[in-house]
Structure 1
Amino acid sequence: MTHLTLVKARKEDCNLLFDWANEESVRENSFDSSKIIYEDHYEWFIKKLKSPDTLIYIVKNGNQSIGVIRLEKRDNDSLLINYSVDVKYRRQGYGTKFLILMKENFSNKTLIGKVKKNNMSSIRAFEKAGYIKTDKPAYIEFSSKKVLRWRNEVNR
């Protein structure tokens, strides 16, 4: 039985997250696929840890670190979700489990994920987790809740 827990990232997690972020397929599936330089990562990571608009969690199964989830505040009602699963734990359904876990823990917010169109693993994970899919020109957007869009119509 899988029991995942969320542990807030700390400064000591910087190297682990750097290794995960620079893993080959993570770079391929990122919107900016260039290799990350450690000094840039460290500066970015410390800034994100201090930001009131960012939450970073290490996802653990027992004492094993399985992956990372980052939430970025978009507005008062929504958060942008980014996640990555350690290469050793891929193809075991953890991406879907991460996304369900976030819906359960942040049910008062709309979670938004942006996925490259060729990232089939993430697309399947969002779909299996019950996120709502919207095809955009440059990517696929997933939402944990139906987003209502209002149109102004003028009666003539």
Structure 2
Amino acid sequence: MPARKATEADAGLLLAWRNDPRTRQASRSTGVITLEEHSAWLRGVLASPDRELYVVEFDDVPVGTVRFDREDEGVWEVSITLAPESRGHGLSGAVLAEGERAVTASHPVRVVVAAVHRDNAASAALFDRAGYAETAPAVDGFRKLRKTVS
């Protein structure tokens, strides 16, 4: 289940996953995103040295995406989205692990943090299984989690 860097050719796929109602419900920004907004965002992400965006595939089929945003030297925030049709198949742990492997192979990462919506039990369980621990009380409905990777 390899992770590959996302490209502009992934725009339509990533937008469909982002605009899925369950994805929006768990996101910081819950509105529907237009293709124009998404394309501009994606170009910015792909051009930034402080962001990494990966598409993870299983049997050559994209099943999820993992984004990392540099918060500080050695500290990256992770965001994960599974394709709607990939949910419920036990793939989230492998998708997250592949993303972590990819970013740590490309950058000196000491800590990975995550913000998980307090109502997103599946995501909370994923990060718990992956070794993340809560670091602070929820703010604006999001729990802050942390994992030391080196």
Q: Does 1:34 align with 2:34?
A: no
1:1-30 CA-partner distances (Å, limit 9, x unpaired):
xxx101110110111101010001000110
Kindly name which structure, 1 or 2, has the bigger radius of gyration based on alpha carbons: 1
- TM-score, normalised relative to structure 2: 0.88
For residues 47 and 11 of structure 1, the distance between their equivalents in structure 2, rounded to whole angstroms, comes to 11
The Cα of 1:41 is off from its aligned counterpart by: 0.7
- Alignment of 1:140 onto 2:140: no
Q: Deviations over 1:23-69 (max 9, x none)?
A: 01000110111111111111111111111111110001121101101
Q: CA deviation at 1:131?
A: 1.2
Counterpart of 1:141, as a letter, is K
The TM-score, its normalising length taken from structure 1, stands at 0.85
Alpha-carbon distance in 2 for matches of 1:25, 1:52 = 29
Q: For the Cα contact (< 8 Å) 2:55–2:62, is it kept in 1? A: yes
Aligned counterpart for 1:71 among listed residues 48, 55, 68: 68
Q: Provide closer, same or farther for how the CA distance between residues 15 and 62 of structure 1 changes in structure 2, counting only shifts above 3 A.
A: same
Show the counterpart of 1:124. Answer: 125
2:50 pairs with 1:53:
yes
In structure 1, what residue type is equivalent to 2:93?
T
Structure 2 stretches of 5 or more lacking a match? none
Can you give the 5+ residue segments of structure 1 that lack an aligned partner in the other structure? 147-156
Higher strand share: 2
Give 1:84's aligned amino acid: T
Counterparts of 1:7 and 1:22 in 2: how far apart (Å)?
A: 22
Q: Secondary structure, in 3 states, of the residue corresponding to 1:137?
A: strand
Contact 1:78 1:110 in 2 (8 A): yes
Q: Name the SS for the 2:118 alignment partner.
A: coil
Q: How has the CA–CA distance of structure 1 residues 92 and 135 changed in structure 2, closer, same or farther, with 3 Å as cutoff? A: farther
The amino acid of 2:137's aligned partner reads: K
The count of corresponding residues between Structure 1 and Structure 2 is 143
Task: For 2:98, give the aligned amino acid.
Answer: L
The counterpart of 1:86, out of the listed 80, 83, 87, is 83
Identity of aligned residues (%): 23
Dislocated runs of 4+, deviation >4 Å: none
Structure showing greater relative contact order (alpha-carbon pairs closer than 8 Å, 6 or more residues apart): 2
Shift of residue 104 of structure 1?
Answer: 4.1
